[in-house]
Structure 1
């Protein structure tokens, strides 16, 4: 009889990376020092891997609100929202989120991942969901645990999606077509083609659901994210987003029509069978909304820093890629090189993110994020660190042989991490 744990014991990737000295994950930090520095191995390093784009996790107003909520309500509520864990704080936050996003209603979840999973409660047998192959893992997981059919299209290939929708219409089973996409993709930094998707929505009577985790609070005239930035807010049916990016906290939400949110509230397992969003996270998100409204300079600064960093890297011959948000990526030739490049940058005092499968379908990239709390000195330290690593590695763009790293194309199936 097979042993369930045998596959775990035979899995060697982790052990090989440890033995080679290039394991880069779950690295502990002893202390956070503001929004842009951490204490790692006894020394302070610039945190350029965090998606705390507006620097709100270190804002004293957000921290004070979170601490006050713990004092008033404790660290947890001992139950689900449905039964005994609902607070007036939750209702206040949901009303504020609905107003901020221009939707009728919202429902909060303990994590951003669960916000994506909550979509499963909407889906039924016969429904077909068309998802970009670089959509966040929580979105495709929601479809997989539902009775619906998942069809994935090449990243950004709206033309291929249009053909798939036409084929689907010819064999329509009576279910509802759903278009599922990130607003700003977390592994590439580019925007989803929301105008093109909105046109397909209208043509095929589909619903368009957008994960705005990496763009809400950051882009658009009022910081409402990619739908506002691309002027298609009135053609997006449902929003999903996380509080662990621009809100500087933890948790997530789904926002949309009131009857849809009520249905999710009562029919989605990810909402029904989970403990409530902790009071501290709820109050922190409320305070974050206040700061976003009062200090729009934060998103301007985060985006300015991303542009300056991208330009500075390209001037040094490093092919940094990105879109209108505050994250950029540097393609690497293979996974091991990516991990070692990360460690070399850490030696130079900069903490980035080494992204390898399954977070992306194949290949490897270094992800660098900027925040509103970055000063010009922080940017100079990051650029100097990259320059030092390039010199150490022979002047290439990350390859051990000094060769340039080609731009990565992520067109095959995979799961996108946070």
Structure 2
């Protein structure tokens, strides 16, 4: 009897189970503060990218409802046909002004933004220089472009400069996360831009985890580096997602007017996709106002980060677990083995705390970790509960 490759999937899934790599979805309902109901269990959550606690804010909900009443719940077409609503247009102007750049283009999803704009910028015969720890959407966009990809060691500007100097490609594109999603550390944006100036390269900066959290009034990593407004360079394209600190959905890319116009004309994931609904743009316009006006959210968040780090440094003394050197809302705790990380995750679940275990291929082999994500919705008491639980588990599993 002949066999089909379709018969291989059960065995391949069993291999994933053996390696502790199968992932599971959970049914989630928001609760008060930083709590979620997860598969029917009420839990204190440290897994959300809702860094400012805006996702359920009444002002955003009301704006979304008003947008739905004015525009309906669907856009009805791509942005270049009939989907570019007045709300979407206004949002683009407000996003550009907020990040201090000439122009912005609003996309329906962050992944679609990077996988679309990279092939629009470079192609066969060109060169991409990619940080080794970049997010999957940057990696996939680079692959789709058919440009030659040079992968430089994480945050190693000397290695990047060597690669740039040796390249004879007519177009050079440097791509990097601004805040790295699994380690929580930040790129040296000023250093990267200096190299791009020196070697005639363009810098694409993915600030998914910095927008709303870093910089004055939460204007992002580029603003934190002082590289917006009059200091903005035409060599920077700034991309950020709007489903994390902004609390809604979608993404945008901002930069020099000519570059953004080129992306509008050439990005397939923009041209051939249905536009984001105006109700979401309406909610995002309300979100931008809160991000700008409510500095207390960032102040509170950064105080919680310091509290967690101080408590874990004391509580985990003598443990093999390592707290990454991160000053951002992403606080990874490196465990090592996949099964050990899952055991710690389960130990927290039994205590009513949800922290996800992150395993390969998302992170390198042997570096499975808990990815603790903090939010302005957390309280001091929430942080202390997590510190106490992790300290107890470290002693029990030692």
Q: 2:12 matched to 1:11?
A: yes
Equivalence for 2:312 = 313
Q: Which moved more, 1:185-194 or 1:229-238?
A: 229-238
Equivalence for 2:196 = 201
Q: 2:178 matched to 1:183?
A: yes
- Contact 2:107–2:270 under 8 Å retained in 1: yes
C-alpha separation in 2, matches of 1:293 and 1:45: 30
Equivalence for 2:47 = 49
Equivalence for 1:335 = 338
Question: Gaps spanning 5+ residues in structure 2: where?
Answer: none
Equivalence for 1:325 = 328
Equivalence for 2:214 = 219
Q: How far 1:376 sits from its partner (Å)?
A: 1.1
For 1:305-326, what per-residue CA distance to the aligned partner results, in whole angstroms no more than 9, with x for missing partners?
Answer: 1121111111101532242311
C-alpha separation in 1, matches of 2:249 and 2:389: 30
Matched length:
387
Please give the secondary structure, in 1, of the residue aligned with 2:24: coil
Equivalence for 1:155 = 154
Seen in structure 2, the aligned counterparts of structure 1 residues 62 and 346 have a Cα distance that, compared at 3 Å, is same
For 1:120-152, what per-residue CA distance to the aligned partner results, in whole angstroms no more than 9, with x for missing partners?
Answer: 212222220101011111112112111322111
C-alpha separation in 1, matches of 2:180 and 2:248: 20
Question: Gaps spanning 5+ residues in structure 1: where?
Answer: 394-401, 403-418
Equivalence for 1:70 = 68
Q: 2:266 matched to 1:263?
A: no
Please list, as runs of the form range in 1=range in 2, the aligned pairs for 1:115-154 lying within 5 A after superposition: 115-119=113-117, 120-154=119-153
Q: How far 1:368 sits from its partner (Å)?
A: 0.4
Seen in structure 2, the aligned counterparts of structure 1 residues 17 and 65 have a Cα distance that, compared at 3 Å, is farther
Q: How far 1:8 sits from its partner (Å)?
A: 3.1
Seen in structure 2, the aligned counterparts of structure 1 residues 379 and 164 have a Cα distance that, compared at 3 Å, is same
- Contact 2:35–2:45 under 8 Å retained in 1: yes
Equivalence for 2:24 = 25
Equivalence for 2:109 = 111
TM-score (norm 1): 0.87
C-alpha separation in 1, matches of 2:388 and 2:166: 52
For 1:79-107, what per-residue CA distance to the aligned partner results, in whole angstroms no more than 9, with x for missing partners?
Answer: 21111211001000000000011111111
- Contact 2:185–2:326 under 8 Å retained in 1: yes
Please give the secondary structure, in 1, of the residue aligned with 2:389: helix
Q: Which moved more, 1:6-15 or 1:193-202?
A: 6-15
C-alpha separation in 1, matches of 2:164 and 2:192: 11
C-alpha separation in 1, matches of 2:17 and 2:379: 38
Equivalence for 1:361 = 364
Please give the secondary structure, in 2, of the residue aligned with 1:189: coil
Q: How far 1:388 sits from its partner (Å)?
A: 3.0
TM-score (norm 2): 0.92
- Contact 1:107–1:254 under 8 Å retained in 2: yes
- Contact 1:338–1:366 under 8 Å retained in 2: yes
- Contact 1:217–1:224 under 8 Å retained in 2: yes
Please give the secondary structure, in 2, of the residue aligned with 1:150: strand
Match of 2:85 among 74, 87, 105: 87
- Contact 2:54–2:287 under 8 Å retained in 1: yes
Please list, as runs of the form range in 1=range in 2, the aligned pairs for 1:161-172 lying within 5 A after superposition: 161-168=160-167, 172=168
Q: How far 1:240 sits from its partner (Å)?
A: 0.9
- Contact 1:35–1:56 under 8 Å retained in 2: no
Q: How far 1:116 sits from its partner (Å)?
A: 1.1
Q: Which moved more, 1:88-97 or 1:318-327?
A: 318-327
Q: Aligned Cα RMSD in Å?
A: 2.0
Please give the secondary structure, in 1, of the residue aligned with 2:214: coil
- Contact 2:26–2:39 under 8 Å retained in 1: no
Please give the secondary structure, in 2, of the residue aligned with 1:129: strand
C-alpha separation in 1, matches of 2:186 and 2:164: 21
- Contact 2:36–2:43 under 8 Å retained in 1: yes
C-alpha separation in 2, matches of 1:90 and 1:278: 8
Seen in structure 2, the aligned counterparts of structure 1 residues 293 and 222 have a Cα distance that, compared at 3 Å, is closer
Seen in structure 2, the aligned counterparts of structure 1 residues 13 and 103 have a Cα distance that, compared at 3 Å, is farther
C-alpha separation in 2, matches of 1:15 and 1:67: 43
